[in-house]
């Protein structure tokens, strides 16, 4: 995944919250400091980092605890909320009109405009559009040939004029030749805010072309200057979206995030590789979730909110204290079938993915196997179900005979039981009320 | 970050002060100048610097270095070593503390930033084995400006009466060969090329053979941009290096780069030892802190800075100028 480095340092900051016996002011401040460091070394603008971290600290220390969340979960949620806000809350997709749509790609020299245009063209091609490319980069040598070759590879029409140095005129002339209802993508020369003539040229291009989208490419390796540069582009022509490029490197992309925070313009696409298909739509929430290693906190919280307000207090303590019987295991298997995969639910829990790793086969139980397990459990005595540790070899042989299964099946069931028991032991009660709720919802409450 | 760092350091100094109250002066002297010492120094018109005096100054400096794109680990190392030099030092009372510390820091930065005079390269080219051309390979990630930098470099050589040939070894990026060819045409310099997708090492090899045959002085090899994380492409670069045995490997870096510069310069240096650096896009308002990060990581000279679109927009690197820029000229007196 992209932005791994930022992600892993943010995750280790959050891990502190999960691992700490008590979430107090000292811990919050320490975690906030870790987050600051993670963001700064990811090239997020220094001032923005200060603002963001102050906000997180203030909220974490002062906000009233919402019902149903522990302090632990609340702090994690605040970090998540603020980071999502930082990258622009809603995912924004390009809404393309079939009756003509014009996109212009702008950006600093070498930020990846032309390559991104090819990727964008491919992206729309796959959605059934027929993009047309115009080269309005009359400055960089080889720019025309580059786009021409890419257009040929994609098999899309290409317009431009190698003998002209008037980008505005090229765009005018090309547009007059292209049918109105087409999806047009215009490539421009790289420029930066200090190149006033080029910035003026860009303004004229924007006026002439009557654009629907003005996309700014930002190189994920860019540092502190990203915000200032993006602002200059935004003030000049009003950019409508950001394409974040070169995310396949070790780059931290914080510069781009700062650009977004400075201009308020959302990231729309990310480029994640050399190949033409390595291009994705950007969704801030899932991006931050993945970044923080928290699956989908939002979905979990929604799920928890859907639960009836008055849930009878049930004894989940038992599981969380590690008193977990084979009966409980079985009900969990059943619940998994009813409620969807356990793994998914567990991944929604903030920090869960950080604190416990489960073997893959734990989640992958086929229906057939579940049936087998049920039969095995039916052949056990109550005593065995309550205290599985008494199941010795001779008991196992008896159970196998009684249920018509093999010794290995019984051993496997007992292994699953041990894994689950360890898992629940690792989650001490009260730390994750949202998880408790989820577990109850999964049907575990049946067994007291 | 620095607020809490400030707090921590403030707490640290406070703690030491508490300890100082309890323990004898002699024991504490090693950690912190004692009151007696301080008073003595004061009579002599001197101040003894302690952690507390320095912290706010360093916090400001750290922030301004960060804002100039110097990587945090590099800043921390530099600041740590300077702090060690300063704590317990006597300075004249009439000297302004921030100015004094900045002066020390500026010196330290200038020491990290290594430069090499362009004449040194010219001399090396002149003194080469006459049987073989001087081979220079340009490497870097995508979009840093390798191709235009090579053209500028060729112009620089041309201006000094050195004949070169350029090898279009970026056979990957669309339009890259045409781009170099056009520069060659503008400058009157031959470009050796194969088809797109051809083996870059073979192109470079041919260029060297061409230079041998025509008795040209220098072969300039353009390579495709590659992310340092791409193992295959890094291997390909090593192969070009093995085949061409360059006399000089020049890393072309974008001066707008942030913390990634540490990894970029390290990985490229590990793959093919870098001999020098050219930083591009310095005209874009970049503070160029990446220069400090690179120098710190690979300890190799920065040769030139790219400052514009024209062929002559390549200037020799100057440490003093860069140190001023990094610390923010307004911050630095003298």
Torsion of CA A13, A19, A20, A25, to 10 degrees: 30
Note whether B158 and B189 are within 8 A (CB).
yes
Residue range(s) defining the domain that contains residue B20: 2-112
What confidence category does residue B258 fall into, taking pLDDT thresholds of 50, 70 and 90? very high
List the 349-378 stretch of A: residues with Cβ below 8 A of B: none
Which residues, 6 or more positions from B156, have their beta carbon under 8 angstroms from its beta carbon?
B118, B304, B314
Half-sphere exposure in the Cβ direction for A221 (13 Å, CA): 30
Distance from CA of A196 to the nearest CA of B (A): 11
B148 and B262 share a domain?
Answer: yes
Q: Any residues with CB less than 8 A from the CB of A254 and at least 6 apart, and which? A: A6, A39, A40, A42, A43, A44, A45, B258, B259
Q: Does residue B333 belong to any structural domain of this protein? A: no
pLDDT-based confidence at residue B120 (cuts at 50, 70, 90): very high
Cβ-contact B68, B11 below 8 angstroms: no
Distance CA B64, CA B81 (A): 18
Low-confidence winner among A387-396, B126-135, B218-227 (lowest mean pLDDT): A387-396
Q: Give A 379-398 residues with CB within 8 A of chain B.
A: none
CA gap A79, A58 in Å, rounded: 11
Do B126 and B103 fall into the same domain? Answer: no
Calpha distance B28→B51 (Å, rounded):
14
Q: Is residue B324 part of a domain?
A: no
Contact A181, A130 (CB under 8 A): no
Measured between alpha carbons, how far is residue A345 from residues A186, A391, B167 in Å?
45, 31, 56
What pLDDT, on a 0 to 100 scale, did the predictor assign at position A191? 96
Set of chain A residues whose Cβ sits within 8 Å of the Cβ of B297: none
The pLDDT tens digits along chain A (448 residues) read 345 567 777 878 887 887 788 888 899 999 999 889 888 888 889 999 999 999 999 999 998 887 777 788 788 888 888 888 887 766 676 778 888 899 999 999 999 999 999 999 999 998 889 999 999 999 999 999 999 999 999 999 999 999 999 999 999 999 999 998 899 999 999 999 999 999 999 999 999 999 999 999 999 899 999 999 999 999 999 999 999 998 877 667 788 888 888 898 888 998 878 888 888 888 776 666 666 655 555 555 554 444 433 333 334 445 455 566 777 777 666 655 544 445 555 555 444 444 444 455 555 556 677 778 888 888 888 888 888 888 899 999 999 998 889 888 888 888 878 777 766 665 554 455 555 555 554 444 333 2
Does residue B18 sit in the same domain as residue B46? yes
Same domain, B146 and B242: yes
Q: What is the mean pLDDT of residues B21-40?
A: 53
Q: Chain A: give the shortest CA distance to residue B147, in Å.
A: 10
User: What is d(CA B208, CA B169) in angstroms, rounded to the nearest whole number?
Assistant: 12
| Mean pLDDT across chain B | 86
Residues B65 and B189 in one domain: no
Segment A143-194, tens digit of pLDDT: 999 999 999 999 999 999 999 999 999 999 999 999 988 999 999 999 999 9
Look up tokens 């409450």; give the residue: A445
Angle at A373 between CA A382 and CA A396, to 5 degrees: 60
Report how many Cβ contacts below 8 Å link chain A to chain B: 167
> Hey, are the CB atoms on A143 and B289 less than 8 Å from each other?
no
Q: Which helix (H) or strand (E) holds B253?
A: strand B248-254
Residue B254 pLDDT exceeds 80: yes
The answer to whether residue B29 scores a pLDDT higher than 50 is no
DSSP string, A218-280: EETTB-TTHHHHHHHHHHHH---EEEEE-TTSS---HHHHHHHHHH-PPEEEEE-SSSTT-EE
Give the residue-averaged pLDDT of B290-295. 92
Specify the pLDDT at position A335. Answer: 54
One domain for residues B131 and B239: yes
CA gap B110, B115 in Å, rounded: 10
Q: Which residue has the tokens 């969704």?
A: A283
Which one is the CATH code of A4-86: 1.20.1440.230, 3.40.50.2000, 1.20.120.140, 1.10.3720.10? Answer: 1.20.120.140
**φ, ψ of residue B168 in degrees (nearest 5):** -85, 70
Q: Which of B8, B73, B143 to mutate to test the interface with A (most CBs of A within 10 A)?
A: B143
CB contact under 8 Å between B183 and A248, yes or no, is no
Q: Are residues B88 and B212 in the same domain?
A: no
- For residues B183 and B267, membership in a common domain is answered with yes
Q: What secondary structure does DSSP assign to A150-197, as a single string?
A: HHHHHT--EE--TT---HHHHHHHHHHHS-TTSEEEEEE----TT-HH
Alpha carbon separation from B187 to A146, A175, A191, B78, B206 (Å, rounded): 21, 34, 23, 43, 20
- Partner-chain contact A40 B254, CB within 8 Å: no
B179 contact residues in A (CB cutoff 8 A):
140-143, 145-146
B46 has a pLDDT exceeding 50: yes
Which pLDDT score is estimated for B110? 87
**In this complex, do A146 and B178 lie within 8 Å of one another by their Cβ atoms?**
yes
Closest CB from A53, A145, A225 relative to B256: A225
B4 has pLDDT over 50: no
Domain boundary among B78, B112, B146: B112
A111–chain B Cβ distance below 8 A for any pair: yes
**Distance, first Cα to last Cα, chain B:** 29
* Cα B179 to Cα A326: distance, rounded to the nearest angstrom: 71
The model's confidence at residue B5, banded by pLDDT at 50, 70 and 90, is very low
- Quick one: pLDDT at residue A91? 67
Averaged pLDDT for residues B80-104:
81
Short-list A301, A335, A331, CA closest to A318? A331
For residue B150, the model assigns a pLDDT of 98
d(CA B144, CA B312): 18
Q: How far is B101 from B21, CA to CA, in rounded Å?
A: 28
How many Å lie between the alpha carbon of B292 and the closest alpha carbon of chain A?
14
- Using 50, 70 and 90 to split pLDDT, how confident is the model at B91? confident
The percentage of residues in chain B with a pLDDT greater than 90, rounded to a whole number, is: 58
pLDDT at B20 over 70: no
Confidence of residue B277 (pLDDT cuts 50, 70, 90): very high
Can you give the CATH number for the domain in which B92 is found? 1.20.120
| Same domain, residue pair B271 and B158 | yes
A225 touches chain B (CB under 8 A): yes
Check residue A7 and give its pLDDT.
Answer: 72
**Which of B73, B90, B112 delimits the end of a domain?**
B112
Mean pLDDT value across residues B112-118: 88
What percent of chain B shows pLDDT beyond 70? 87
Contact B281 A192 (CB under 8 A): yes
Statement: residue B6 has pLDDT above 60: no
Specify the pLDDT at position A375: 86
Number of domains in chain B: 2
Task: Compute the radius of gyration of chain B from its Cα atoms.
Answer: 25
Residue B269 near residue B297 (C-beta atoms within 8 A): yes
> C-alpha angle A117/A121/A122, rounded to 5°?
120
Chain-chain contact of A223 with B290 (C-beta, under 8 angstroms):
yes
Looking at domain A297-446, its CATH class is mainly alpha
Residue entry with tokens 């490319």: A133
- The pLDDT assigned to A120 comes to 95
Strands, E, within A5-54: which ranges?
none
The answer on B130 and B96 residing in a single domain is: no
Chain A residues near residue B69 by CB distance under 8 angstroms:
43, 223-225
Stronger pLDDT, B212 or B58, i.e. the higher one: B212
Interface TM-score (ipTM) > 0.95: no
Residue A274, Cα to own-chain centre: how many angstroms? Answer: 21
Pair B17, B58 in one domain: yes
Using a CB–CB cutoff of 8 Å, tell me whether B170 touches chain A: no
pLDDT digits (tens, 9 = 90+) for A292-327: 655 555 555 554 444 433 333 334 445 455 566 777
CATH 3.40.50.300 is the classification of domain A101-287: yes
DSSP letters spanning A103-133: EEEEESTTS-HHHHHHHHHHHHHHTT--EEE
Highest mean pLDDT: which range of A72-76, A378-382, B80-84, B270-274: B270-274
pLDDT for residue B109 is more than 50: yes
Q: Tokens standing for A421?
A: 């028991």
- Of B112, B128, B149, which residue constitutes the final position of a domain? B112
Cβ atoms within 10 Å of A302's Cβ, excluding its own? 11
Q: List, in order, residues 6 or more apart from B275 with CB less than 8 Å away.
A: B248, B249, B250, B300
- Give the end-to-end CA distance of chain A in Å, rounded to a whole number: 42
> Which residue ranges does chain A devote to CATH 1.10.260.30?
297-446
Q: Name which of B61, B174, B287, B311 to mutate to probe chain A: the one with the most chain A Cβ atoms within 10 A of its Cβ.
A: B174
What's the alpha-carbon Rg for chain A, to the nearest Å? 28
For residue B173, pLDDT beyond 60: yes
Residue B330 lies in a domain: no
- Contact by Cβ (8 Å): B288, B68: yes
Question: Could you tell me if A150 lies within 8 Å of chain B, comparing CB atoms?
Answer: yes
Q: What angle do CA B232, B172, A107 make, to 5 degrees?
A: 105
> Which part of chain A is CATH 3.40.50.300?
101-287
Taking the CA of residue A102 and the nearest CA in chain B, the distance in Å comes to 24
Structure-model confidence comparison of residues A346 and B280, the more confident one? B280
Q: B87 and B210 in one domain?
A: no
CB atoms within 10 A of CB A141: 21
In chain A, which among 49-68 make CB contacts under 8 A with chain B?
A: 49-50, 53
Least confident of B46-55, B162-171, B295-304: B46-55
Beta bridge partners of A101: A183
Specify the domain boundaries for CATH 1.20.120.140 within chain A: 4-86
> φ, ψ for residue B316 (rounded to 5)?
-65, 150
Higher-confidence residue: B189 or B51?
A: B189
């Amino acid at each position: 995944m992209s932005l791994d480095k930022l992600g892993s340092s943010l995750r280790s900051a959050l891990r502190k919250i999960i691992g700490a016996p008590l979430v107090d002011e000292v811990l919050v401040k320490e975690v906030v400091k870790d987050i600051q460091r993670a963001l700064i070394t990811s090239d997020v603008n220094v001032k923005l980092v200060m603002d963001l971290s102050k906000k997180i600290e203030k909220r974490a220390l002062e906000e009233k605890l919402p019902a149903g969340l522990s302090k632990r979960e609340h702090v994690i949620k605040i970090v998540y909320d603020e980071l999502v806000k930082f990258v622009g809350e809603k995912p924004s997709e390009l809404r393309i009109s079939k009756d003509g749509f014009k996109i212009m790609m702008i950006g600093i020299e070498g930020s990846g405009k032309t390559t991104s245009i090819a990727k964008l063209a491919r992206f729309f091609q796959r959605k059934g559009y027929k993009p047309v490319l115009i080269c309005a980069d009359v400055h960089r040598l080889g720019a025309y040939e580059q786009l021409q070759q890419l257009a040929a590879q994609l098999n899309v029409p290409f317009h431009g004029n190698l003998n002209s140095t008037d980008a505005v005129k090229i765009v005018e002339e090309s547009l007059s030749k292209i049918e109105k209802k087409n999806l047009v993508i215009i490539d421009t020369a790289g420029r930066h805010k200090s190149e006033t003539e080029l910035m003026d040229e860009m303004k004229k291009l924007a006026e002439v072309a009557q654009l629907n989208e003005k996309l700014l490419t930002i190189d994920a390796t860019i540092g502190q200057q990203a915000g200032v540069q993006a602002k200059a582009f935004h003030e000049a022509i009003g950019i409508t979206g950001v394409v974040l490029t070169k995310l396949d490197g070790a780059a931290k992309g914080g510069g781009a995030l700062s650009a977004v925070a400075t201009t308020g313009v959302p990231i729309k696409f990310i480029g994640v590789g050399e190949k033409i298909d390595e291009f994705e739509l950007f969704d801030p929430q899932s991006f931050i979730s993945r970044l923080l290693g928290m699956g989908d906190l939002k979905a979990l919280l929604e799920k928890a909110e859907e639960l009836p307000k008055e849930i009878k207090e049930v004894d989940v303590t038992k599981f969380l204290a590690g008193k977990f019987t084979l009966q409980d295991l079985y009900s969990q298997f059943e619940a998994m079938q009813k409620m969807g995969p356990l793994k998914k639910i567990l991944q929604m829990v903030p920090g869960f993915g950080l604190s416990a790793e489960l073997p893959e086969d734990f989640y992958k139980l086929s229906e057939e196997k579940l049936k087998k397990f049920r039969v095995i459990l039916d052949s056990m005595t109550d005593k065995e179900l309550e205290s599985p540790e008494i199941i010795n070899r001779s008991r196992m042989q008896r159970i196998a005979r009684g249920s018509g299964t093999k010794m290995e099946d019984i051993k496997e069931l007992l292994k699953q039981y041990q894994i689950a028991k360890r898992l629940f032991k690792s989650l001490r009660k009260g730390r994750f009320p949202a998880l408790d709720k989820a577990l109850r919802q999964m049907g575990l409450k049946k067994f007291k | 970050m620095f607020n809490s760092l400030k707090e921590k350091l403030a707490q640290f100094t406070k703690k030491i002060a508490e300890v100082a109250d309890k323990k004898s002066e002699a024991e504490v002297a090693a950690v912190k100048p004692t009151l007696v010492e301080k008073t003595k120094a004061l009579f002599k018109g001197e101040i003894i610097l302690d952690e507390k005096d320095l912290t706010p100054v360093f916090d400001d400096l750290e922030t301004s270095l960060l804002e100039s794109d110097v990587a945090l680990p590099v800043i921390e190392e530099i600041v740590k070593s300077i702090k060690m030099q300063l704590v317990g030092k006597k300075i004249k009372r009439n000297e302004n503390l921030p100015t004094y510390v900045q002066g020390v820091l500026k010196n330290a930065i200038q020491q990290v930033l290594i430069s090499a005079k362009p004449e040194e390269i010219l001399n090396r080219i002149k003194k080469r084995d006459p049987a073989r051309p001087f081979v220079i390979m340009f490497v870097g990630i995508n979009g840093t400006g390798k191709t235009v930098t090579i053209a500028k470099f060729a112009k620089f050589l041309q201006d000094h009466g050195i004949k070169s040939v350029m090898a279009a070894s970026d056979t990957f990026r669309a339009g890259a060969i045409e781009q170099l060819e056009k520069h060659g045409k503008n400058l009157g310099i031959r470009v050796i090329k194969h088809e797109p997708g051809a083996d870059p090492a073979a192109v470079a090899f041919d260029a060297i053979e061409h230079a041998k045959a025509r008795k040209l002085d220098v072969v300039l090899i353009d390579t495709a941009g590659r992310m340092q994380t791409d193992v295959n492409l890094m291997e390909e670069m090593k192969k070009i290096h093995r085949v061409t045995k360059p006399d000089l490997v020049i890393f072309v870096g974008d001066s707008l780069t942030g913390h990634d510069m540490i990894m970029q310069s390290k990985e490229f240096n590990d793959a093919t030892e870098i001999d020098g650096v050219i930083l591009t896009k310095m005209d874009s308002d970049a503070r160029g802190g990446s220069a400090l990060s690179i120098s710190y990581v690979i300890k190799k000279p920065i040769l030139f800075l790219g400052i514009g679109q024209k062929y002559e927009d390549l200037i020799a690197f100057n440490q003093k100028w860069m140190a001023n820029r990094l610390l923010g000229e307004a911050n630095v007196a003298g």
